[in-house]
Amino acid sequence: MTSATPVKRKSHDKVAKILSTTGKNLMNNADLIVATLKAAGIHRGFGIPSGNVLPLMEAMRRGGVDFVLTAHEGSAGFAADVSGRLTGAPGLCIATLGPGATNLATGVGCAFLDRSPMIAITCNLNTDQLGRRIQMWIDHHALFRPITKATLRLERGRIAETLSQAVALALSEPMGPVHLDLPEDVALAPANEAVPAPAPRAAIAPAPDTAIAGVGELIAAAKRPIAVIGSSAMRLADPSLLLKVIERHSLPFATTTMAKGLIDEDHPLALGAIERACRQHQRRLLRSADLIVGLGYDTIEVEYEAWIDDVPLLQVDIEPVDIAPSVKLVHQATGDLAASLARLAALTATRNSWTAAALAEHRQAFQSALRPPSPSFTAHAAIDAVRRALPRAGILSFDVGAHTHQIASQWSAHAPKSFLITNGWSSMGFGLPGAIAAKLARPDLPVVCLIGDGCFQMTCGEVAVAKRLGLTLPIVVLDDKWLALIKVKQIRRQFPLYGTALQEEDYREPPAHYFGVPAVGVRDADALEAAVRQALAASGPTVIEAVVDSEHYVETVYD
């Protein structure tokens, strides 16, 4: 059965109850795993099966946790990462052993560096076959150890304890993936444990009051402070705390790529993203500050020394900052981020010497530099057209390339969790599975996928998944014929262009469909905007190939 087919939800909770009250073995361990994951709020898992995955898939079918078949296990990992970000429960991904596990690893690494809660399950041979020279076997724990918070064996009699430990660990800050290895005989063995109560997450202690007082004093003394919001803040249960701090202290704020949208970028204090297209504009402003206030700034996205120069740094985050010796750290408050922000928002309001006019002028100059005039249909015009067509609350899922830099700088994000990208892991292939997971998690919101042609070539099999699931999803491909980001790097470093062209011949209209999904070609901004609007009203996915000229990336990306 496909995941689009409604799953027949048998009363699994009732079975679990009978088991816990009578002690009778009505479930196998796979059922127990599924019931435990479901109790943790997990309602679907993404993956690709082989024979040894079937017991777990059957338990999912019986237990009412949807199995979503993807085209590649890497996509299953990216989709699970996004599910984790959007639902608050860990995302679930599943693969078979060996090559299934290595494919899955690309998506698991994403959750590790982007810090999304995830449970990644590999199904394995029978216990007595592990470690032998048998088809497809590799050591999964060695594979997953460097890219997970923990890699655990599921063993008879210890399933409940291991699962609840894994879920709590995935959800403890900094969040991340936990890998579980499930031998087939363990999956099929009768369960002799009850569904466990969820284990408590480890809490991060609040920063000491003296540390928060120090933050307040530095902000009060600064004349030209700028806050830079980073990706730790994405996991705040209440992102409005950020707005309260910013407004309380009149702090102009920039963000990293992933933190866009945590405060509506239409805010008069908003400066946009740093270290992306036209980054020199942002650097000049940042370097004119007399204090940088990192709020949940995780250096996994971009290290401070890349842009801060000799401006003093004040860091408020969950972990001690990681900086090069050149960075002038004046103070840091390390602890639970929500607790720190709540106390900063309660301090006496402070003022500084920034003027609304100066900030508006900077924003305007930055945004116009991002859009160099051109007679052709530029990538920047295509991105603006998509922004116009997607309602303000809508979700954008995009991918990794020169287009990422351009989108991060020019897109205005208006809501938390509306701007989905990987920047810690920065892997191509995130955009389309991310969009699929977003639409599944938030069917109430319009979702658009916007990716480069290289990324599309890497993941186009997932178009068939969106079709099978019946998802309304415009998939906009920026067809610029190049791995443009790498081409720009070749130009900058004076290497000849070699190995970065995706297509030598002139464009032709796209085929009528990919895997039954209609495809349209557009060659100007108005046609793109109309096509996205139409695709948002369709009952399934649409591929929209925007044939763009991305020459301006040489000027805007890596300026």
Contact set with ligand TPP (CB under 6 A): 399-403, 426-429, 452-455, 480, 482-486
Q: Is 399 in the site for Mg ion (CB under 5 A)?
A: no
Shortest reach from residue 500's CB to ligand TPP, in Å: 8
Q: How many CA atoms lie within 13 A of 333 on its CB side?
A: 28
Among 199, 484, 519, 557, binds Mg ion (CB under 5 A): 484
Cβ proximity to Mg ion, 384 vs 453, nearer residue = 453
Of 147, 211, 219, give the one whose Cα is nearest residue 178.
147
| In the complex, minimum distance from the CB of residue 545 to Mg ion, in angstroms, rounded to a whole number | 12
Is the Cβ of residue 63 or residue 454 nearer to Mg ion in the bound state? 454
CB of 389 to Mg ion, least distance (A): 21
Question: Which residue's CB is nearer to Mg ion, number 413 or number 484?
Answer: 484
C-beta of 260 vs 380, nearer to ligand TPP: 380
In the bound state with Mg ion, the residue whose beta carbon lies nearer, of 32 and 402, is 402
Q: Which stretch binds Mg ion (CB under 5 A): 193-201, 314-322, 479-487, 509-517?
A: 479-487
Reported as type and span, the H/E element at residue 44 is strand 44-47
34 or 485: CB nearest Mg ion: 485
Q: Which is nearer to ligand TPP, 394 or 452 (CB)?
A: 452
Nearest-CB residue to Mg ion?
452
Interactions with Mg ion, residue window 253-292 (CB under 5 A): none
- The binding track of 5-24 with respect to Mg ion, each residue x by CB under 5 A or -, is --------------------
Least distance from ligand TPP to the Cβ atom of residue 20, Å: 45
Distances (CA, A) of 181 to 34, 265, 420, 512: 14, 43, 29, 43
462 contributes a contact to Mg ion by CB under 5 A = no
183 binds, among ligand TPP, Mg ion, none (CB under 5 to 8 A by kind): none
- CB burial of 237-251 (b: ≥16 within 10 Å; e: otherwise) equals eebebbbebbebbbb
User: What token pair was written down for 383?
Assistant: 């991105």
Q: Which does 245 bind (CB under 5 to 8 A by kind): Mg ion, ligand TPP, none?
A: none
Is cis: bond before 174, omega within 30 of 0? yes
230 binds, among Mg ion, ligand TPP, none (CB under 5 to 8 A by kind): none
* Nearer CB in complex with ligand TPP: 253/425: 425
What is the CA angle 554-556-559, rounded to 5?
A: 80
Could you give the strand order of the β-sheet that contains 541-547, starting from the edge strand earlier in sequence?
A: 419-420, 395-398, 447-452, 473-479, 541-547, 517-522, 513-514
Rounded CA gap, 212 and 344, in Å? 7
430 and 399 Cβ atoms separated by less than 8 Å: yes
Considering only 453, 462, 529, 545, the residue that binds Mg ion (CB under 5 A) is 453
Q: Name the residue nearer to Mg ion (CB basis): 117 or 454.
A: 454
Shortest distance in whole angstroms from residue 431 CB to Mg ion: 12
Beta strand spans in 65-143 (E): 66-69, 91-95, 118-124
Distance between the two ends of the chain, CA-based, in angstroms? 51
* DSSP H or E segment with residue 219: helix 209-221
The least CB distance from residue 325 to ligand TPP, in Å, is 29
d(C-alpha 363, C-alpha 350), whole Å: 23
The token pair at 153 is 């064996």
Residue 441 zone, left/alpha/beta (φ > 0; ψ -120 to 50; rest): alpha
Which is closer to ligand TPP, CB of 307 or CB of 553? 553
The item of ligand TPP, Mg ion, none sharing an interface with residue 428, based on CB under 5 to 8 Å by kind, is ligand TPP
**Which of the listed partners (ligand TPP, Mg ion, none) does 426 bind, with a CB threshold of 5 to 8 Å by partner kind?**
ligand TPP
DSSP 435-494: HHHHHHH-TTS-EEEEEEHHHHHHHTTHHHHHHHHT--EEEEEEE-SB-HHHHHHHHHTT
- The stretch near Mg ion (CB under 5 A) out of 120-128, 131-139, 260-268, 481-489 is 481-489
Minimum distance from residue 487 beta carbon to Mg ion (Å) = 8
Q: Which residues of the chain form contacts with Mg ion (CB under 5 A)? A: 452-454, 480, 482, 484
